[in-house]
A and B are shown apart, each in its own frame.
Chain A
């Protein structure tokens, strides 16, 4: 894929392949994906269920090891790193938001947000913390435990955590998948603001065309391959494109 903006990519995959299982049950989840994620851009990834979106996220975020191909975060190639270095890389340079279960139930919202920094033993940048908290709108909820927060609030706490360590890139796998549309919109607005205002790089998987429309660029995955991309998407254009998938019969959007 070509670069659309100037500057080096925040992360990239080169000929990334991921195969699960062997023999009869073998599944090729990613089939030679090569892609750049441009710094300070909001990239959305779409595709039918089972097309390899989550697998791509996991491989990019150093949570899973590819079968072949390379993954770069900045200019660091992940396959060269041992577990210890990967852990540190995740801690210091990558942020995540999962679809659910993002928070440690025994810790308060504030403790959850500062968790990666606490683990690293790094000082929390107070100004940056305040900025994030006010952006995410959680100032009065910091002392609450996760089970005292709504789903949308929990996801916003997770987003705040992902951003606090100023990672080079944030991966979010269907962060709004479990939320009602209003809560989802809040989370999306926050992610978008962090790209616009703080220059954060974000890659987000979603199956909601409306959510994808917040992105600068949408990548479409199908059967483990990158099948298309769209710059400056709108909800209508995305929906149109997704219908194409249904027509081909690749499966349902999910």
Chain B
């Protein structure tokens, strides 16, 4: 039996190969995601390992701080310089020295653009000739270290990219009081042993005194103290010794712990990225199931004679089932193997693309055992699950079928499937609605499973609903294409289950795409409306990298422009509030209320007194009069809650808002994330815009936008995100297209005789191709109609559910959906190219005489 199975497998290489392709694609994506993120992880752990001295003294991190915030967070708390001497004098300390590390320093290239990836950190450090000499991590490889104001040393890769040479003047931007600097490049730094670079970051070294001026308001202080242990002292012992002399605001950690902390912060960030990619891989695999199921169904149908013969010769049902399952196992195995290889290729490709974008991470790809196990498990399980139904159906072929001529496996009751499909659809919709209405715990899980179940349910219903739908879709075929059209129409309807399964694959991809299109359009409309109503500022100044801060001097220079009435800033920072990670915002309430909406629904909005307000969505969590603890590295402040504000305001997130003084007091750095500008009435807006643009011209990371441009930029930002999601869903659609190709090709093979007959009685090659193309279009459009219908349902429900969370208005992007429909028809045409060519190439005679 096994031999017979493997033989028949070999005889159908091509057909199975095509179904394995779905597995290959899905597994490749899974593997690619893992390998890529593992490789990134490895790059960062290499970068961060052995980076630090035995013990580090830093501002104490609050309990509950997310590691990403620890990595990204800046604090205004510094370490007084005298502490260095005090620590150096402790027993067991071989040496201690202060260091300064800060973010927000950008190096400009010849064109005045910031070097490095968007959002890639620009590190600014203090240079101390003594410590840099011992420091094995950063070394001066060319020139010398900076020795006074007006001198800098920059890492080799950045120097290279900016096209600088030692001795050149280099322009820099900072977040400080002097946002734009010019200095002489006196040296080139190298980070780490080789020129691996900083994975997209840049590093600029100033002499220590200049760094203190720039980053610590001129105080004689540091941000970190590195402590080196004497030869007989362990890092842990040293940490405890040092910790004993530190004030509460500071903490001592071993260098190894800090390395791990940074690595796990990166891992966490990448983990999210990985999950994001895996979700799309899962969608593609789910779609792949339909394709594999269909292929096996067709193959089983084609072999019903052979199976009947085996049954007649005494094979048991279970043996037939098993033989199909073994076949699927082999297909899964081969598909996974190829997928694994393709996944490595994909990861390499992403590495190259990231490199081209300025985020080099070199080194070989990391193929963890986990990746291999997951790849094979996923590939094989998906294939075998998909083959289950066809395998069962195969075992139901009666032995007598071997003797009959025109035996087809008649569908096991389609009505049963319809009933099950109806039930599943209903259950799925119910779960989704329950999840969306937040009526259940784990709402997101309910929504996800609900959508999944709905897909399966509709896919089961599809054979029934597809017949009338196909009738409508192909209604014009006869009139437009005569016999060719009629044949195509009949072919599309002759096996509803097959047509439906093929279309279902496309349905899933398109349902997700349409749902996202609806949500995206609704979001844009909601943002537009919210900004129309709630943004009164004439100009908005932001960092090009959303959410990144910039120097407060921008606001100052805006104030100097003629015709400007009010200028106000928004500041924000990561902080731990009552033990959980949050983003706190600082505004000047009166000015802000003019530029946007700041409506206090209860309590007071007078932030000048040192209180905080919180969005009205959190009335249940905090009461007015409560005191909340706001913690940042090295600082902990008690702040009273004095009111609730209306969180529908477009620029406010619903989190804690404080005044500027409180913001500084809790330890947040004095940098702006947004500046709002209102023109005096009657002022010439064009002139102000020109003035603002000129005033910020020397800070290339800052952009001035007028009201309409700002709206557009918000839309563009969303579009970028949507495009990434569309591109990733494209993978699922690609699998679906392959599914159509596969089904058509198999159907053509199955109808070889018929094709031969048609050709014999005078159907031209062209007419034959048209027939197949029309059938393909019918399948694709069926999938699109089902998918867009479902997607509309999903999208509208999502919008309804999120109406209170900023998605107030529904917008159905009809033209976009029509485009999807048309694209589906085009997909149909494309999918038919190869099967049609194959069919047209069939030798008429061979076709007729085929067994």
Contact = CB atoms under 8 A, between A and B. Distances in A.
A120 B762 contact: yes
Contacts of B486: 107, 111, 118
A116 interface: yes
Contact of B760 (A54, A63, A107, A118): A63
Nearest to A106: B490
B779 to A, nearest CB: 15
A147 B483 contact: no
Nearest to A146: B406
Nearest to B767: A119
B483 A87 contact: no
A83 B848 contact: no
Interface in A11-66: 54, 58, 61, 63-64
Given A63-B844, A64-B845, A105 B762 contact: no
Nearest to A104: B754
Interface in A119-143: 119-121
A102 interface: yes
Nearest to B762: A91
A98 interface: yes
Interface string B442-484: 0000000000000000000000000000000000000000111
Contacts of A188: none
A119 B753 contact: no
A132 to B, nearest CB: 16
| Most A CB within 10 A of own CB, among B406, B494, B762, B844 | B762
Interface in A68-107: 83-84, 87-88, 90-92, 96, 98, 101-107
7 contacts: A92-B762, A101-B754, A115-B758, A119-B758, A119-B762, A119-B764, A161-B761
B757 interface: yes
Contacts of A83: 765
B762 A116 contact: yes
Contact of A104 (B758, B762, B844): B758
A121 B482 contact: yes
B491 interface: yes
B490 A88 contact: no
Given A84-B764, A96-B760, A118 B482 contact: yes
Interface string B13-31: 0000000000000000000
A106 B483 contact: no
Contact of B757 (A54, A104, A111, A121): A104
Contacts of B153: none
How many A residues touch the partner, as a band? 20 to 34
A84 B844 CA distance: 13
A84 B759 CA distance: 11
B624 interface: no
B753 A101 contact: yes
B444 to A, nearest CB: 46
A88 B764 CA distance: 8
Interface of B: 406, 482-484, 486-487, 490-491, 494, 753-754, 757-765, 767, 844-845, 848-849
B761 A115 contact: yes
Contacts of B490: 106-107
B762 A87 contact: yes
Majority SS of interface residues in chain A? helix
Given A106-B487, A116-B762, 17 more contacts: A83-B765, A84-B764, A87-B764, A90-B761, A92-B762, A96-B761, A101-B757, A105-B406, A106-B490, A115-B761, A116-B761, A118-B486, A119-B758, A119-B762, A119-B767, A147-B406, A161-B761
Contact of A87 (B494, B765, B848): B765
Nearest to A95: B761
A109 to B, nearest CB: 14
A63 B490 CA distance: 26
Contact of B483 (A96, A101, A102, A119): A119
Nearest to A107: B490
B483 A118 contact: yes
B840 to A, nearest CB: 10
Given A64-B845, A102-B757, A106-B487, A119 B494 contact: no
A103 B484 CA distance: 16
A226 to B, nearest CB: 22
Contacts of B753: 101
A52 B109 CA distance: 83
A90 B848 CA distance: 15
Contacts, number: 70
A87 B849 CA distance: 18
* Residue from the set A54, A118, A121, A147 with the largest chain B CB neighbour count within 10 Å: A118
Nearest to A161: B761
Given A101-B753, A105-B754, A107-B490, A119 B761 contact: yes
A107 B491 CA distance: 10
Given A63-B845, A106-B487, A118-B482, A88 B760 contact: no
B491 A106 contact: yes
Contacts of B761: 90-91, 96, 115-116, 119, 161
Interface string A187-203: 00000000000000000
A88 B482 CA distance: 17
Nearest to B840: A83
Contacts of B763: 87, 91, 119
A90 B757 CA distance: 11
A115 B845 contact: no
A98 B762 contact: no
Nearest to A120: B762
A118 to B, nearest CB: 4
A118 B494 CA distance: 20
A40 to B, nearest CB: 23
Given A115-B483, A121-B482, A147-B406, A101 B762 contact: no
A126 to B, nearest CB: 18
Contacts of A118: 482-483, 486
Of listed B406, B759, B767, B845, residue having the most chain A CB within 10 A:
B845
Contacts of B849: 54
A64 B761 CA distance: 14
A105 B759 CA distance: 15
Nearest to B758: A104
A87 B487 contact: no
A84 B754 CA distance: 19
A119 B849 CA distance: 22
Nearest to A87: B764
Nearest to B765: A83
5 shortest interchain CB distances as A-B pairs:
A91-B762, A106-B490, A118-B483, A116-B761, A63-B845
Contacts of B406: 105, 147
Nearest to A63: B845
Nearest to A93: B762
Contacts of B759: 87
A139 B121 CA distance: 85
A58 B482 contact: no
Contacts of A98: 757, 848
A98 B484 CA distance: 23
Contacts of B483: 115, 118-119
Q: In this complex, which of A61, A106, A121 has the most chain B Cβ atoms within 10 angstroms of its Cβ?
A: A106
Contacts of B758: 104, 115, 119
Contacts of A115: 483, 758, 761
B762 A58 contact: no
A58 B845 contact: yes
Contacts of A116: 761-762
A160 to B, nearest CB: 12
Nearest to B764: A87
B762 A88 contact: yes
Contacts of A101: 753-754, 757, 848
A165 to B, nearest CB: 9
B6 to A, nearest CB: 28
Nearest to B761: A116
B778 to A, nearest CB: 13
Most buried by B among A64, A83, A104, A115: A104
A210 B621 CA distance: 99
A30 B164 CA distance: 84
